[in-house]
A and B are shown apart, each in its own frame.
Chain A
Amino acid sequence: MTRFSITINGEAHGPVDLRDDLSMNDYLREHLGMTGTKFGCGAGQCLSCAIIVDEPDGTSRTSPTCIVPAVNFDGMAIRTVEGHAKGDELTTLQKAFIEHFAFQCGYCTAGFLNEGQVLLERLERSPVARAELETTIAEALDGHLCRCTGYIKYHEAVRSVILAEPQRYLA
């Protein structure tokens, strides 16, 4: 057992004693009831379980949760799909996902949303040239599996957000 604390969507959790081999996915879903983060494969292959890790240096990255023990996130700050909207106000990316019919069953959506959000925040810090945009989006999202959509509408949604504010995201 390991003593464990974490900040999720700005809210402190713990300290609590956790089994060393309890996955982060099961901590969120079974201990906290936060089932917006999905379980897809348990092998780190589909990334429907991905969450955002906010690093101390102000950068962010996504991480799978199904194959990573919860205790590996001790002391960290993370964001999950439940934390994007502020009250009833959805983020621009959430709205774009809906308006572009980006998903169908929606089971992979949390992972794509987190990855897309991290990309947007990265581009705000390090814009890319317009000519590199499609490749940048494709590389960012490629680890995520979707069985329903064929991915195109996810890409279109992310691209639409970026192109709506080129001065913010593009060099």
Chain B
Amino acid sequence: MRASRREFMTWMSAGGISLSMTRLGQAQSVGFDARETLPGRARWNPAIGGLGRIDGEPKVTGAKLYASDFRAADMPGWPDKTAHALLVRAPDASHVYLGLDLARLSGAMKPTLVVTASDIATIGLQVPDFYAGDLFCPVGRTPFYLGQPVAMLIFDGFDAYDQARVAVRDGTFVRFGEETGPIEAENYGAFRFTRVAGPTPESPDLYSPVLAGWVKPGRVQHSPLPVWEPYARETSDPYGKAARYGETIRAGLAGANADLLVLDRHFETQSVDPMFLEPEAGLAWHDGRTGTLELVLGVQSPFDASEAIAFLLAKAKAPFKPKRIKADFAYMGGGFGGRDHTPFMLYVTLAGLFFTGRPVRLAHDRFQQFQGGIKRHAFKMHSRIGVDRRTARITAFAADHVLDGGGLANFSPNVATVAATAAIGIYDIPKVDITTVALHSRGVTAGSMRGYGTVQTLTALETLVDEVAAALPLDPIAFRRRNALPPDGRTMTGNRYTVSVRTMEILDKLETHPIWAARAAEKARPRREGILVGTGVAVATKDYGTGADCSLGRVEIDAEGGISITSDQPEMGNGMGTALASRVAAHLGGMAEEISLARVGVFGELALVTSGNSYTMDQKTQDAAERNSRWVPAISAATAASNGAHVGTHSTSEAARVVFRFGLWPAALALWSIAPADHRAEQWAQATWRDGNLHFADLPPLSLKALAAKAHASRLVTGATTHCFSRWAWAKATFPVQGHRYAAEIDALAIRRGGGPFERVARVAVSFPPTGNNRIGTTYGAACGTLVRVEIERTSGAITIARAYTILECGNALVPEVVKGQAQGGFAMGVGYALLETLPPFEDGPGNGRWNLGQYVVARGSDLPLHDFEVEMLPPLTPDEAPKGIAEVVMIPVVPALLNAIFDATGHRFQSLPVSPSMLKGALA
């Protein structure tokens, strides 16, 4: 679903425009080369000793780090003065747009330039498919969605911009005429996932998406909603086959069967805002003299953003087509998915192009961020579950999901499929049938956000499971244990996980935790009058990765033992820099002194090429393409889908492994006087680092500094660059290095010897994961369980979370305190989603431009059990177990656990979010 790499590469060769992308550093007073690394060797940095984040010092001293911090005067070589752009958006999507009442912006508020749909219509822009839709609503049309831009006003000076920004906020500057009603459009994607297991766990499935492929309904009947029924004569296979299996499952759930407990429930979730604290911002300067377009952006997807901008301008007419695009990527003040593939950077680009010669800043304020930023999808879910009363085993599950995708497609089809394929959570269910459709609406565009559909579907599921356990009756944890997917079981797409499945251990931890063990006693314990007490539990599993994940990493060590890292992965607060340093330290015995992130244009030594769409290509195409040893299925991916630890750090870790294997290890052998033919020369994997020294057998320890000096002096490997790719399994390749055939989970390698230049090492064999893996829902998953105890005041409905516990499994925690912080932050975000945050759809919602934190309530410290929230991580199964992605799963189980606790306290099951005090008060009246 992502933009095609082929398009980009075609444009690159046809356009003849160079493109460079790098990361923006923190200080403004030094040259760019000196500030493009973090933290830098001259700075105090406790992370080098293993304490704290590697980006800590600049963040506590107010250094310029974020895209919103930079002005033209901060950028080397730019003019000093910054102009300011203001996007005016439509607060109405049911009437014809007539234009702007610009006469009201007179005097000190008069814009220098106004850019509208008519201005961009003639300059030859081509909007990438992913962002398809009018960038500006043309006069005479009804806006496609609330918050659609209608114009961009550009002001020479800040004061004019500042006053105009406030003046246009009430929306009356945008004039509307005849009422047309909202514009109807086709849905963004509709899919059906059906699986029927064989008669025994060992036997093959009768039907599954992995066996038969993913299917979508072919018919829409006078409505954006698809026709789901098979209509055998009209609907051909493969959809018809899935639908017939699915309808059979549904008929079984609908039939009269006294032995089967069937619950049929509807659940609705709300739209929310990612509410990252730094509103989107960017800076652009189109230098008309050199033809260079320079950009400063803060996005989760640097490569794809650059690709989209390049495509946008590929066929632009002079003077709007730059000769060169230079994009700098800054740190992000939060992301949570909401900075992954947003269209904002397209408008930053336009601001620069239309105000040629002068740097322009486009920055949302919070009202604008609510009006125009990506939202989480609201879901309507109808679920039916069948449970054998005698065995308490789930026999069948059917659900229908309808997502409000808002104004543009963005990631709606992807969210719909991830949500659907995650919808049976931790359970082993032999018959599953799920339909899902993401609809267009006039609401603000919904897209990627932490939890990515799964927090919606698993909230519906885990509250339903709680109700089933009560109805049987059976202890909720015992019910989950009886139905949990075993490690070798099949997911609802019909494949097995390739990573550990540790649900049982998590259930054991939950069951024995004092919050659960003492739940009855706590409920009975006397409190002040009118306080209801309840305990809730929920467990979730969440995939990590997208099925086309990749990263780039370079590790270098100097003759003094100083380590530097360069990675394509950006930092949005998730601790990427610290995690990279930690993985490299495991191989090289020391923390990196310099780390450069979000650099996607500086790995020329690999000379990578790509083609096709890695999500959709067939095996024959891949087989042909991989004959070129420089070819990879994708070059760089966004930091998204909780893939930072697993994928984002992998290439860098593998580069460090190469530096050790072919640099430091042979240096150690030489210093120990071990001959290459000695059997010990191949035992490099048995060496260990302790306190900066390399230990092996009973030989004297060697310091990193001594090994680095020897490696440089002997012209051994002192630097390595790698690329990795995963399609639910790593690509693997073999490389000739120093007389060895080196096999690793990478698909490209370059090395440097001594102080020499990097040289590409052509792979001699490669095994890319089969394209058939694109049918898999996921093979990478991490589980997390949460317990909460709530206290509810009967008269007011006020709810307090008295105590909570989260247990998760994450493989090897690269930086345990970062993982713990993610779990704490995820818990807080889950509390907000369950109890506080909501955005109404349409005219009363954020698209009207009048929303801010006054109305939109996110969790504060006082909403959380700051001193009574415990986070526990299962230790890794093996010392070398790969890290798992957990950034999303940690926010999921708290949501249904809260609802289950509320039921335990009140006897009332809420079937929509958020549960507000007034709803609680009403239920208790």
Cα–Cα distance between A33 and B62 once the two chains are bound (Å): 11
| 8 Å CB interface, A97-144 against B | 97-101, 103-110, 113, 134, 138, 141-144
Q: A150's contact among B43, B331, B828, by CB below 8 Å, is which? A: B828
Cα–Cα distance between A141 and B866 once the two chains are bound (Å): 12
Q: B366's contact among A41, A90, A103, by CB below 8 Å, is which? A: A41
Q: Is B853 touching A145 in the complex (CB atoms < 8 A)?
A: yes
Kindly supply a per-residue 1/0 record for chain A positions 69-104, scoring 1 wherever the CB is within 8 Å of any chain B CB and 0 otherwise.
000000000001110110010100011011111011
Contact A98:B53 (CB < 8 A) given known A42-B365, A45-B853, A46-B277: yes
| Residue A35, interface by CB 8 Å | yes
Q: Which 7 A-B pairs have the closest CB atoms?
A: A36-B62, A105-B573, A107-B333, A150-B824, A98-B56, A106-B59, A104-B573
| 8 Å CB interface, A19-49 against B | 19, 21-22, 26, 30, 33-43, 45-46, 48
A12 proximity list for chain B (CB < 8 A) = none
Q: Is B861 touching A155 in the complex (CB atoms < 8 A)?
A: yes
A59 proximity list for chain B (CB < 8 A) = none
| 8 Å CB interface, B53-83 against A | 53, 55-57, 59-66, 68-71, 73-74
Task: Identify the closest chain A residue to B854 (Cβ).
Answer: A43
Cα–Cα distance between A97 and B866 once the two chains are bound (Å): 17
Kindly supply a per-residue 1/0 record for chain B positions 563-574, scoring 1 wherever the CB is within 8 Å of any chain A CB and 0 otherwise.
000000000111
A80 proximity list for chain B (CB < 8 A) = 62
User: Closest CB of chain B to A11's CB: distance in Å?
Assistant: 15
Q: Is B367 touching A42 in the complex (CB atoms < 8 A)?
A: yes
User: Closest CB of chain B to A132's CB: distance in Å?
Assistant: 13
Contact A151:B861 (CB < 8 A) given known A43-B853, A90-B61: yes
Task: Identify the closest chain B residue to A40 (Cβ).
Answer: B277
Contact A33:B71 (CB < 8 A) given known A48-B277, A105-B276: yes
| Residue B51, interface by CB 8 Å | yes
Contact A46:B853 (CB < 8 A) given known A97-B60, A105-B333: yes
A36 proximity list for chain B (CB < 8 A) = 61-63
| Residue A153, interface by CB 8 Å | yes
User: Closest CB of chain A to B449's CB: distance in Å?
Assistant: 12
| Residue B329, interface by CB 8 Å | no
Stretch of B156-164, B186-194, B220-228, B645-653 that contacts chain A: B156-164
Q: Is B61 touching A99 in the complex (CB atoms < 8 A)?
A: no
Told that A145-B858, A147-B276, A149-B824 touch, could you supply 12 new A-B pairs with CB distance under 8 A? A26-B158, A33-B28, A37-B62, A42-B852, A43-B366, A81-B61, A104-B825, A105-B334, A105-B335, A106-B573, A107-B278, A149-B828
| Residue B507, interface by CB 8 Å | no
| Residue B390, interface by CB 8 Å | no
Q: Is B852 touching A150 in the complex (CB atoms < 8 A)?
A: no
Cα–Cα distance between A19 and B162 once the two chains are bound (Å): 11
Cα–Cα distance between A113 and B47 once the two chains are bound (Å): 20
Q: Is B861 touching A142 in the complex (CB atoms < 8 A)?
A: yes
Cα–Cα distance between A101 and B28 once the two chains are bound (Å): 26
User: Closest CB of chain B to A44's CB: distance in Å?
Assistant: 9
Q: Is A151 touching B334 in the complex (CB atoms < 8 A)?
A: no
Cα–Cα distance between A37 and B66 once the two chains are bound (Å): 12
Task: Identify the closest chain B residue to A109 (Cβ).
Answer: B59
Cα–Cα distance between A100 and B56 once the two chains are bound (Å): 10
A34 proximity list for chain B (CB < 8 A) = 62
B71 proximity list for chain A (CB < 8 A) = 30, 33
Q: Is B860 touching A148 in the complex (CB atoms < 8 A)?
A: no
Interface pairs (21), CB distance under 8 Å: A36-B63, A46-B853, A88-B43, A90-B61, A98-B47, A99-B52, A103-B53, A104-B574, A104-B818, A105-B572, A107-B66, A107-B573, A142-B861, A142-B862, A145-B277, A145-B853, A146-B277, A147-B276, A147-B336, A150-B864, A150-B869
Most B CB atoms within 10 A — which of A43, A90, A107, A147? A147
A141 proximity list for chain B (CB < 8 A) = 861
Q: Is A107 touching B44 in the complex (CB atoms < 8 A)?
A: no
B61 proximity list for chain A (CB < 8 A) = 36, 81-82, 84-85, 90, 94
A101 proximity list for chain B (CB < 8 A) = 52-53, 575, 817-818, 820-821
Q: Is B46 touching A38 in the complex (CB atoms < 8 A)?
A: no
Q: A151's contact among B66, B818, B864, by CB below 8 Å, is which? A: B864
| Residue A152, interface by CB 8 Å | yes
| Residue B867, interface by CB 8 Å | yes
| Residue B275, interface by CB 8 Å | yes
Cα–Cα distance between A82 and B29 once the two chains are bound (Å): 15
Interface size class of A (residues with CB under 8 A): 35 or more
| Residue B279, interface by CB 8 Å | yes
A98 proximity list for chain B (CB < 8 A) = 46-47, 51-53, 56-57, 60
User: Closest CB of chain B to A19's CB: distance in Å?
Assistant: 6
User: Closest CB of chain A to B857's CB: distance in Å?
Assistant: 9
Contact A138:B866 (CB < 8 A) given known A82-B62, A150-B827: yes
| Residue B385, interface by CB 8 Å | no
Cα–Cα distance between A107 and B68 once the two chains are bound (Å): 11
| Residue B492, interface by CB 8 Å | no
Q: Is B821 touching A150 in the complex (CB atoms < 8 A)?
A: yes
Cα–Cα distance between A140 and B64 once the two chains are bound (Å): 27
| Residue B588, interface by CB 8 Å | no
Contact A94:B163 (CB < 8 A) given known A41-B852, A43-B853, A46-B853: no
User: Closest CB of chain B to A25's CB: distance in Å?
Assistant: 11
Cα–Cα distance between A35 and B869 once the two chains are bound (Å): 34
Q: Is B276 touching A99 in the complex (CB atoms < 8 A)?
A: no
| Residue B242, interface by CB 8 Å | no
A138 proximity list for chain B (CB < 8 A) = 861-862, 866
Task: Identify the closest chain A residue to B158 (Cβ).
Answer: A30
Task: Identify the closest chain B residue to A93 (Cβ).
Answer: B60
Q: Is A105 touching B163 in the complex (CB atoms < 8 A)?
A: no
Most B CB atoms within 10 A — which of A36, A94, A155? A36
Contact A39:B279 (CB < 8 A) given known A81-B61, A105-B334, A151-B861: yes
| Residue B829, interface by CB 8 Å | yes
Q: Is A151 touching B332 in the complex (CB atoms < 8 A)?
A: no
Q: Is A152 touching B869 in the complex (CB atoms < 8 A)?
A: yes
Kindly supply a per-residue 1/0 record for chain B positions 764-778, scoring 1 wherever the CB is within 8 Å of any chain A CB and 0 otherwise.
000000000000000
Kindly supply a per-residue 1/0 record for chain B positions 143-167, scoring 1 wherever the CB is within 8 Å of any chain A CB and 0 otherwise.
0000000000000001100110000
A148 proximity list for chain B (CB < 8 A) = 334, 573, 821, 825
User: Closest CB of chain A to B298's CB: distance in Å?
Assistant: 10
Cα–Cα distance between A51 and B46 once the two chains are bound (Å): 26
A40 proximity list for chain B (CB < 8 A) = 277-279, 366
Cα–Cα distance between A34 and B69 once the two chains are bound (Å): 9
Task: Identify the closest chain B residue to A29 (Cβ).
Answer: B69
A37 proximity list for chain B (CB < 8 A) = 62
User: Closest CB of chain A to B195's CB: distance in Å?
Assistant: 37
Q: A19's contact among B46, B59, B159, B853, by CB below 8 Å, is which? A: B159
Task: Identify the closest chain B residue to A81 (Cβ).
Answer: B62
Q: Is B333 touching A106 in the complex (CB atoms < 8 A)?
A: yes
| 8 Å CB interface, B249-276 against A | 274-276
User: Closest CB of chain A to B867's CB: distance in Å?
Assistant: 6
Cα–Cα distance between A94 and B869 once the two chains are bound (Å): 25
A21 proximity list for chain B (CB < 8 A) = 163
User: Closest CB of chain A to B53's CB: distance in Å?
Assistant: 6
Cα–Cα distance between A85 and B44 once the two chains are bound (Å): 12
B573 proximity list for chain A (CB < 8 A) = 103-107, 148
User: Closest CB of chain A to B163's CB: distance in Å?
Assistant: 7
User: Closest CB of chain B to A22's CB: distance in Å?
Assistant: 7
B277 proximity list for chain A (CB < 8 A) = 38, 40, 46, 48, 105, 107-108, 145-147
A108 proximity list for chain B (CB < 8 A) = 277
Cα–Cα distance between A1 and B520 once the two chains are bound (Å): 66
A84 proximity list for chain B (CB < 8 A) = 60-61
A105 proximity list for chain B (CB < 8 A) = 276-278, 331-335, 572-573
Kindly supply a per-residue 1/0 record for chain B positions 385-419, scoring 1 wherever the CB is within 8 Å of any chain A CB and 0 otherwise.
00000000000000000000000000000000000
B163 proximity list for chain A (CB < 8 A) = 21
User: Closest CB of chain B to A28's CB: distance in Å?
Assistant: 10
Cα–Cα distance between A152 and B276 once the two chains are bound (Å): 18
